[in-house]
């Protein structure tokens, strides 16, 4: 591997094996093109009895992001099913707002605070410590990779996402579609906690399965998405017209990457992760988005609630969300709705499964 610097961004050029393993790549894609099934995260327990006198407080990264709101709705759905009190705090990507939320949860006697969907706990250690000293549990949902990252010791628990598997699906797709001749640029935001395992899994999978392929990685902080993604992608495509894939690892980046592909006159396609509705709509409308790895965010919220209830109910802890990744393409994107939403397309097997798991039937 050699490392080159382009306009201040780290660029990784990988020399890959001489023979592409397209069959292995296709097997990965096929596995996650099947409708998700439910794998139980633990033993059944009487959630209604246990949670009758308990309250949960959810602090999302930002209430303005439909991604966070969809997960919060999954938490609320679980609370309604089981019958416990829950509050979702209103935030605007503001550390002062997160701190105010923690203080409110302590003052109002909540039992657990969940930092949901990317809230960085390292910014809140004094407040987390104060909450725990007051007897509250503090957890995180959908913030860390399940296999390569450990939640900090100052949290009581974390329900994590398998970002490595998502990265392998994305990498395998590009290998399958190009017969291993991948020439991709990858856009990420290094300050977001799971960026490193996600982009590393993409790069490593292409390295493992590709044939003479190249990947380049560019770090664009979240605050700069609107101003720097398009110019970064456009410059890379003009410098190398043979680039065949643009991989913005969080799919909301696609709205800035797609115009760059069009302006550059490139035939490159976008593949990404999150299943964000407007990106699925771009795919359905025949835009440059070719594949998107999604997950049901309602399911994520219910799974996060399950992990938190187990913590409050002295059950065996759960550290990994049981929400499967699912491949969307133009062949099945209509199942996500028109316009698309965060929950259609995945089936609803999890709803009845959680009811049985919580002994509600």
- Domains of the chain by start residue, with CATH: 2-35+164-294 (3.40.50.2300), 47-161+296-318+347-357 (3.40.50.2300)
CA 356 distance to own-chain centroid: 26
Closest CA to 119 of 58, 34, 173, 77: 58
Two structure tokens written together for 89: 């705090």
Is the separation of the CB atoms in 177 and 144 below 8 Å? Answer: no
What is the rounded distance in angstroms from the CA atom of residue 286 to the CA atom of residue 15?
Answer: 33
β-pair partners for 219: 188
Question: For strand 112-116 and strand 326-328, is the pairing parallel, antiparallel, or unpaired?
Answer: unpaired
Burial class (CB in 10 A: 0-12, 13-18, 19+), 101: buried
Residues of the chain scoring pLDDT < 70: 1-18
- What is the predicted pLDDT for the residue at 20? 84
Give the pTM: 0.90
219-258: buried (b, 16+ CB within 10 Å) or exposed (e) per residue?
bbeeeebeebbbebbbbbbeeeeebbbbbbbbbbbbbbbb
Beta bridge partners of 216: 185
Which pLDDT value is given to residue 93?
A: 83
Query: Under a CB-based contact definition with an 8 Å cutoff, are residues 312 and 135 in contact?
Result: no
- What pLDDT score was predicted for residue 348? 93
* pLDDT for 18: 52
DSSP tag of 135: T
pLDDT at 5: 41
């Amino acid at each position: 591997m050699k490392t080159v610097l382009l306009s201040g961004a780290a660029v990784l050029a990988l020399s890959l094996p001489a023979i592409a393993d397209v069959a292995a790549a296709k097997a990965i894609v096929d596995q996650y093109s099947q409708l998700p099934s439910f794998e139980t995260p633990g033993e059944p327990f009487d959630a209604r009895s246990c949670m009758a006198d308990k309250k949960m407080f959810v602090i999302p990264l930002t209430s303005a992001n439909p991604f966070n709101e969809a997960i919060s709705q999954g938490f609320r759905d679980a609370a309604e099913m089981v019958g416990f009190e829950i509050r979702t705090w209103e935030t605007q990507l503001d550390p002062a707002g997160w701190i105010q939320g923690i203080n409110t949860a302590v003052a109002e006697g909540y039992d657990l605070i969940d930092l949901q969907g990317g809230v960085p706990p390292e910014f809140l250690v004094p407040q987390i410590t104060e909450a725990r000293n007051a007897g509250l549990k503090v957890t995180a949902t959908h913030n860390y990779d399940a296999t390569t990252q450990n939640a900090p010791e100052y949290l009581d628990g974390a329900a994590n996402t398998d970002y490595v598997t998502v990265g392998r699906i994305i990498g395998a797709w590009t290998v399958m579609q190009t017969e291993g001749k991948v020439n991709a640029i990858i856009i990420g935001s290094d300050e977001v906690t799971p960026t490193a395992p996600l982009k590393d899994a993409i790069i490593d999978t292409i390295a493992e399965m590709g044939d003479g392929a190249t990947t380049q990685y560019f770090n664009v902080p979240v605050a700069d998405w609107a101003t720097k993604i398009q110019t970064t992608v456009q410059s890379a495509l003009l410098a190398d017209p043979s680039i065949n894939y643009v991989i913005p690892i969080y799919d909301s980046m696609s709205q800035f990457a797609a115009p760059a592909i069009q302006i550059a006159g490139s035939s490159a396609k976008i593949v990404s992760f999150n299943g964000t509705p407007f990106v699925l709509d771009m795919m359905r409308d025949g835009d440059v988005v070719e594949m998107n790895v999604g997950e049901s965010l309602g399911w994520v919220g219910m799974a996060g609630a399950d992990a938190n209830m187990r913590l409050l109910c002295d059950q065996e802890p759960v550290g990994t969300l049981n929400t499967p990744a699912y491949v969307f393409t133009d062949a099945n994107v209509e199942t996500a709705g028109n316009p698309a939403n965060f929950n259609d397309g995945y089936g609803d097997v999890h709803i009845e499964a959680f009811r049985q798991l919580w002994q509600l039937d």
